Amino acid sequence: MSTPKSVTRRNTVQAIGAGAAALAMPAVTRAQAAPVRVGYAIARTGPWAGGAQVSQEPNFVLWAEQQNAAGGLDVKGVRRKIELVGYDDRSEIETCIRTYEKLMGSDKVDLILPPWGSNANFALAPLANRFGYPMLAPTALSRKLVDMRLPYFFSLLQQPDRMMGALVDMLVANGVKTIAILYMDDLFGLENFAALNGALKKTSIQVVERKGYPLGVKDLSPVLRGIKDLNPDAFIGITYPPDTILASKQAKEIGFNPKIFYASVGTAFQLYRNVIGAGAEGVTGMGSWNSKTSPGAKAYFDAHTKKFGGKEPDRWASGHCWAGLEILTQAVAKVGLDRKAIRDYVARTEHKTIIGPIRFEGSENISTPGTVAQWQKGEFEVVWPRNVATAQLVMPKPAW
């Protein structure tokens, strides 16, 4: 595992500067001026990298840069530079956990930022809780994890029952009679699949097909051909970014064009729009915000796009990731680096963020409703529920 060159260089410059300044400073001042070491492991390689390198690590880098440009992170009134200590977890649970154990146990970093995905967060949360490190997770979609009620764990995304409940409400309100479901056979896929089935039981919608698939699948066309023959009103894909793109491309190739085509993680990515092209128009998926959501959201969107050479944040987890960083920043400014005090502040306060107010009940963000978004004229618009929508649902979906 290695730190990327950009982070290594920044850390070295900060360390040299701190060392030189320390020669002329009293001990108390030196302690105050020391960098705030923020550690994390994130997927830069492997199947998780597509999501991690859109929704999380760019935000970590942008946040540190913005804070340092302002003189450093406000630690209870004292500005201290941020030193990011980041590693590649290679999309491996074991590597992820081993790295965080080192960061929290022997390195004793001041704060941690979370890994990507439900699986990694599920594995890490009990360890972070044991070490007493607050963990604000923007890509953990797991009711099981929330229900563990780990005091130091906070999930920023809407949970499966909320997301699937909103989706089913939208299907019912728009007269959908039949659907087919394709789902990833892992924690994320199975929990969302169960939540979807639970919500469907309260409706008259008929499920004409339910199919699971493994991580790393390379061809979904046989399943999609079978679903096409059943002619459902809606297709629901509980998918990860590579599979979201794969299912969309192969549906286009075989001419499968239901009234609603919904795919999950990755639909909100700029990459999805770029790869699928004009065919992205009308595709729905997991999304909760865009630059119309708030002035802060627009400022964040613009700063991210500028910093990363035109690469846009995604319209779901990126916003929740930035909201988590906003909450962490507010907490440190208020209570300093005492991690229990940070935890208590996060748990007991309603936080102003770019995606709206966030308040936690236990580990769950109870303020952000389940949502559905849709590509319309180059923007991923929130279309459900209507009270938070930035545009109206377009149905039927235009042809690919």
pTM here?
0.88
Residue 349 has a pLDDT of 98
Residue 280 has a pLDDT of 98
Contact (CB, 8 A) for 315 and 288: yes
Residue 16 has a pLDDT of 32
Distance, in Å, from the CA atom of 247 to the CA atom of 164, rounded to the nearest integer, reads 19
- Which domains does the chain carry? 5-158+293-365 (3.40.50.2300), 160-291+371-388 (3.40.50.2300)
CA Rg value for the chain? 22
- 253 sits in the region (left: phi over 0; alpha: psi -120 to 50; else beta) called alpha
Closest among 312, 325, 252, 320 to 287, alpha carbons compared:
320
Residue 32 has a pLDDT of 56
Burial category of 194 from C-beta neighbours within 10 Å (exposed 0-12, middle 13-18, buried 19 and up): middle
Q: Tens digits of per-residue pLDDT, 175-189?
A: 999 999 999 998 899
Sites in the chain below the pLDDT cut of 50: 1-30
Distance, in Å, from the CA atom of 374 to the CA atom of 381, rounded to the nearest integer, reads 5
Contact (CB, 8 A) for 191 and 144: yes
